[in-house]
Amino acid sequence: MIRLINSRVVTNLAKQFVNNTSLQSRRKGLDIRTLCTSLPKLQKEEVEVTFVRASGERIKAKGKVGDTLLDVVVNNNIDLDGFGACEGTLTCSTCHLIFSKPDFDKLPEKPSDEELDMLDLAYDLTDTSRLGCQITLSKDLNGLEVKVPATVNDARS
Amino acid sequence: MWKWTKIIGNVNQRIFKANYSESKAKTIKACIVGSGPAGFYSAQYILKHLPNSHVDIIEKLPVPFGLVRFGVAPDHPEVKNVINTFTKTAEHPNFRFIGNVSVGTDITLQELRNCYDIVLLAYGANIDAKLNIPGEDKRNVLSAREFVGWYNGQPNLDKLNPDLSGESAVLLGQGNVAVDVARILLSTIDDLRKTDITEHALEALSKSRVKKVYLVGRRGPLQAAFTIKELREMLKLPNVDTNWRSSDFVNVKEQVESLPRPRKRITELMIKSLEENKSNEGNKNFLPIFYRSPLQINGESNVESVDLTITKVVDNKAIPTEDVENIPAQLVCRSIGYKSVCIDDAINFDDKRGMIKNTNGRVLQKDANTPDIGLYVAGWLGTGPTGVILTTMNNAFAVSQTIIDDVHSGAIKCDSTKPGLDPKKYNVVTWSDWEKIDKREIENGKKSNKPREKRLSIEEMMKIVKS
Ligand SMILES: Cc1cc2nc3c(=O)[nH]c(=O)nc-3n(C[C@H](O)[C@H](O)[C@H](O)COP(=O)(O)OP(=O)(O)OC[C@H]3O[C@@H](n4cnc5c(N)ncnc54)[C@H](O)[C@@H]3O)c2cc1C
Ligand code: FES
Q: Is B435 part of any domain?
A: no
Check CB contact under 8 Å for A120 and B227: yes
Q: Is B462 part of any domain?
A: no
The per-residue pLDDT for range B323-377, each reduced to its tens digit, is 999 999 999 999 999 999 999 999 999 998 899 999 999 999 988 889 999 999 9
Q: Is B185 part of any domain?
A: yes
Query: Are residues B142 and B249 both part of a single domain?
Result: yes
- Can you give the pLDDT at residue B414? 77
Q: How many CB atoms lie within 10 A of CB B459?
A: 10
Nearest ligand, CA of residue A85? 2
- Can you give the pLDDT at residue A151? 66
- Average the pLDDT over A92-107 and give the result: 94
Q: Which of B343, B406, B419 is nearest to B31 (CA)?
A: B419
Query: What is the rounded CA–CA span in Å between residue A65 and residue B356?
Result: 49
Query: Are residues B302 and B154 both part of a single domain?
Result: yes
Q: How far is CA A3 from CA A33, B65, B311, B321, in A?
A: 12, 18, 50, 55
Tell me how far apart the 2 most distant CA atoms of chain A are, in Å.
Answer: 49
CB B124 less than 6 A from any atom of ligand 1: yes
- Can you give the pLDDT at residue B411? 93
DSSP A68: B
Query: Are residues B413 and B287 both part of a single domain?
Result: no
- Average the pLDDT over B304-324 and give the result: 97
Q: Which of B77, B125, B268 is nearest to A120 (CA)?
A: B268
Q: How far is CA A11 from CA A18, A73, B427, in A?
A: 10, 16, 38
Q: How far is CA B29 from CA B64, B264, B373, in A?
A: 21, 47, 14
Number of H helices, E strands in chain B: 16, 20
Q: Taking CB atoms and an 8 Å cut-off, how many pairs form between chains A and B? A: 102
Of B336, B370, B402, the domain-final residue: B336
- Can you give the pLDDT at residue B14? 38
The per-residue pLDDT for range B428-439, each reduced to its tens digit, is 999 999 999 999
Query: Are residues B387 and B293 both part of a single domain?
Result: no
Q: Which of B448, B420, B408, B106 is nearest to B400 (CA)?
A: B408
Query: Are residues B88 and B137 both part of a single domain?
Result: no
Q: Is B380 on the interface with A (CB under 8 A)?
A: no
CB B319 less than 6 A from any atom of ligand 1: no
Q: Which of B394, B400, B402, B403 to mutate to test the interface with A (most CBs of A within 10 A)?
A: B394
- Residue B260 above 80 pLDDT? yes
Q: Which residue has the higher pLDDT, B143 or A108?
A: B143
Look at B69-73, B239-243, B414-418 and tell me which has the smallest mean pLDDT.
Answer: B414-418
- Average the pLDDT over A93-121 and give the result: 94
Q: Which of A122, A136, A134 is nearest to A89 (CA)?
A: A134
CB A92 less than 6 A from any atom of ligand 2: yes
Q: Is B288 part of any domain?
A: yes
- Residue B17 above 80 pLDDT? no
pTM (predicted TM-score): 0.88
Query: Are residues B23 and B113 both part of a single domain?
Result: yes
Q: Which of B178, B108, B109 is nearest to B143 (CA)?
A: B178
Query: What is the rounded CA–CA span in Å between residue A72 and residue A61?
Result: 7
Residue range of the domain that includes B27: 2-126+339-429
Look at A2-11, A53-62, B298-307, B398-407 and tell me which has the smallest mean pLDDT.
Answer: A2-11
Query: Are residues B381 and B298 both part of a single domain?
Result: no
Query: Are residues B275 and B382 both part of a single domain?
Result: no
- Can you give the pLDDT at residue B416? 72
Strand partners, B97: B57
Query: Are residues B266 and B293 both part of a single domain?
Result: yes
Of B313, B336, B359, the domain-final residue: B336
Mean of pLDDT over chain B: 93
The dihedrals phi and psi of B368, each to the nearest 5 degrees, come to: -120, 165
Query: What is the rounded CA–CA span in Å between residue B312 and residue B321?
Result: 7
Q: Is B446 part of any domain?
A: no
- Can you give the pLDDT at residue A44? 60
Q: Whose CA is nearest to atom 3 of ligand 2?
A: A90
B401 CA distance to ligand 2 centroid (A)? 23
Query: Are residues B190 and B315 both part of a single domain?
Result: yes
Q: Is B88 part of any domain?
A: yes
Ligand 2 atom closest to residue A96's alpha carbon, by position in its atom list: 4
- Average the pLDDT over A29-58 and give the result: 66
- Can you give the pLDDT at residue A157? 33
Q: Which residue has the higher pLDDT, A1 or B81?
A: B81
Q: What percentage of chain B exceeds 70 in pLDDT?
A: 94
Distance from CA of B320 to the nearest CA of A (A): 31
Task: Spell out the residues 6+ positions from residue B12 whose beta carbon is closer than 8 angstroms to its own.
Answer: none
- Residue B5 above 50 pLDDT? no
- Can you give the pLDDT at residue B73? 98
Q: Is B189 on the interface with A (CB under 8 A)?
A: no
- Can you give the pLDDT at residue B429? 98
Check CB contact under 8 Å for B393 and A82: yes
Q: Is B219 part of any domain?
A: yes
- Residue A7 above 90 pLDDT? no
The domains located in chain A, with CATH, are 46-147 (3.10.20.30)
Ligand 2 atom closest to residue A87's alpha carbon, by position in its atom list: 1
Q: Is B203 part of any domain?
A: yes
Query: Are residues B171 and B112 both part of a single domain?
Result: no
- Using an 8 Å CB-CB cutoff, list chain B residues near A120: 227-228, 261-262, 265-266
Query: Are residues B324 and B377 both part of a single domain?
Result: no
User: Domain containing B392 — which CATH number?
Assistant: 3.40.50.720
Q: Is B227 on the interface with A (CB under 8 A)?
A: yes
Of B301, B336, B371, the domain-final residue: B336
A140 CA distance to ligand 1 centroid (A)? 43
Overall domain count for chain B? 2
Split at pLDDT 50, 70, 90, the class of B457 is very high
User: Domain containing B147 — which CATH number?
Assistant: 3.50.50.60
Look at A29-38, B53-62, B194-203, B302-311 and tell me which has the smallest mean pLDDT.
Answer: A29-38
Q: Is B264 on the interface with A (CB under 8 A)?
A: no
HEC profile for B196-240? Answer: CCCHHHHHHHHCCCCCEEEEECCCCHHHCCCCHHHHHHHHCCCCE
